[in-house]
Structure 1
């Protein structure tokens, strides 16, 4: 995992291989690559040719976003609890401290080695951090960092330097820890809101795609119910299917606009997709298409084209 340095960490995203994540700017490139990935092909084979997976891509993305939002909110609550616990601690008297937020970088390595004989205030700070931030259910799987590494990544390396060099909790360090802990919580809250916006957006696109697919199925069922050649009806259905394909193009264009204007653009994020670091963060770690809506549009458009070809064959046979 790569941490965003600074005192207002918004979120962490996996380090990407730039050569493997070059930005794709067309629907055929983005969605085509996604739906032909081995894991997706394997899934299609597993469920059978009769299943239409397009909406499963979007549904799975919504589920993944919900899980991530719960994790982010757990981190927000943990940072708030940490800040509250530090705020309740007594700081050391001025004559017992030396540096505030200064000190030797070498001292950072000693912060998490405070033993029973160490300063009780420092031990309580570290215990508070372990009991809150490092105790979220997903901490080991997601970060697996020492208390020193996590403090430095989330609240700034100077916090660990100051704590180690002072050997206690001075007033300046206490104030900084509380302020930065609350700032980290606020950043998580903003991220949770952004993920919520993405969930709402996915639901809206899912509704749009579902409406197009329902109309597609109604057209085919209507044509199948006509006896004889039904040439006039077939021509009408063919034209309406053509309209539905254009609607798919419009949905894809709308999603492209959304991708270019994410609800959050983290400062300093490892962003190998231009302005799409937010979407890399959400969808790169999960199995399935990197762009679930575009993958769904691609499959639906392909099904519409297949239906249109069948209607054309019916017209040809009727001549």
Structure 2
């Protein structure tokens, strides 16, 4: 009777799964980008002088100065080529590099003569971008586990509500009381609130920002578990008053 009430949690689980796939794809793209950039020598523009084009090379590695053209090409081929890029970002190279790395690095990517230490700084920022995604992936694993546990507990509440409704209609007398169902809902709410409030991120975001990031544009709710639990509490209260 009340199984449709769990729909926000089902939607949330789908959103988490989608975000995990996207973040893991981005993590891999940044790692591939870093691997392509690491062997490049960008200290001197490719067009500067004939002498600069004949620097000694390590075996199997082209160490000729190349400017930033290959870096921009690698960025487009990796970071900007993930399947969801247009839908989720849809930005120019400059805008995306500025937001994901830094405005200074974005300007450096546009220059044929990047400042000293540019590549090292770029690779450091790329490593930070990878670490941020790994951290978010860890939080998404925790979120998926929390959603699944809450769904299981609230599914029991749904079954209990149906049982109470059946008793009201003259069915079997065994089953949970409205007070017991209320307590089950309360336990889920407290566990969920504790998780949201105590999440620790390496960035400035907190647990509430995390929920907004995941669910803020979905069907008018930002806290799927709390939304479902509150709906079930209203159903329990309404049924209790009619018994």
What TM-score do the two structures reach when normalised by structure 1?
0.63
Q: Deviations over 1:57-100 (max 9, x none)?
A: 11111111110111111111111111111002233459x6xxxx
By how many angstroms is 1:276 displaced?
1.1
Distance 1:290 1:183 in 2: 28
- Look up the match of 2:194: 257
Distance 1:246 1:263 in 2: 28
Preserved contact between residue 194 and residue 263 of structure 1 (Cα < 8 Å): no
Give yes or no for the alignment of 1:86 onto 2:45. Answer: no
Q: What are the within-5 Å matches in structure 2 for residues 250-289 of structure 1?
A: 250-264=187-201, 266-267=203-204, 269=205, 276-289=208-221
Distance 1:138 1:82 in 2: 17
Q: Deviations over 1:123-164 (max 9, x none)?
A: 111000001111111112222211111112212122233344
Q: What are the within-5 Å matches in structure 2 for residues 25-64 of structure 1?
A: 52-64=3-15
Distance 1:54 1:288 in 2: 15
Distance 1:163 1:126 in 2: 7
Q: Which of 123, 133, 152 is the matching residue for 1:207?
A: 152
Preserved contact between residue 58 and residue 296 of structure 1 (Cα < 8 Å): yes
Q: Deviations over 1:203-262 (max 9, x none)?
A: 111111112222333344356235xxxxxx5xx87x821221132123222222222122
Segments ≥4 residues shifted beyond 6 Å: none
Q: What are the within-5 Å matches in structure 2 for residues 1-319 of structure 1?
A: 52-93=3-44, 120-165=66-111, 167-168=112-113, 172-221=117-166, 224-225=170-171, 240-264=177-201, 266-267=203-204, 269=205, 276-310=208-242, 312=243
Q: RMSD over aligned Cα, in angstroms?
A: 2.8
By how many angstroms is 1:51 displaced?
5.7
Distance 1:57 1:290 in 2: 10
Preserved contact between residue 22 and residue 84 of structure 2 (Cα < 8 Å): yes
Q: Deviations over 1:181-212 (max 9, x none)?
A: 12211111111111111111111111111122
Preserved contact between residue 266 and residue 278 of structure 1 (Cα < 8 Å): no
Preserved contact between residue 91 and residue 170 of structure 1 (Cα < 8 Å): no
Count matched residues: 226
Q: Deviations over 1:6-50 (max 9, x none)?
A: xxxxxxxxxxxxxxxxxxxxxxxxxxxxxxxxxxxxxxxxxxxx6
**Cα separation, partners in 2 of 1:160 and 1:240, compared to 1, 3 Å:** closer
**Cα separation, partners in 2 of 1:265 and 1:294, compared to 1, 3 Å:** farther
Preserved contact between residue 9 and residue 224 of structure 2 (Cα < 8 Å): yes
Preserved contact between residue 75 and residue 136 of structure 1 (Cα < 8 Å): yes
Structure 2: tracts of 5 or more residues without a match: 49-64
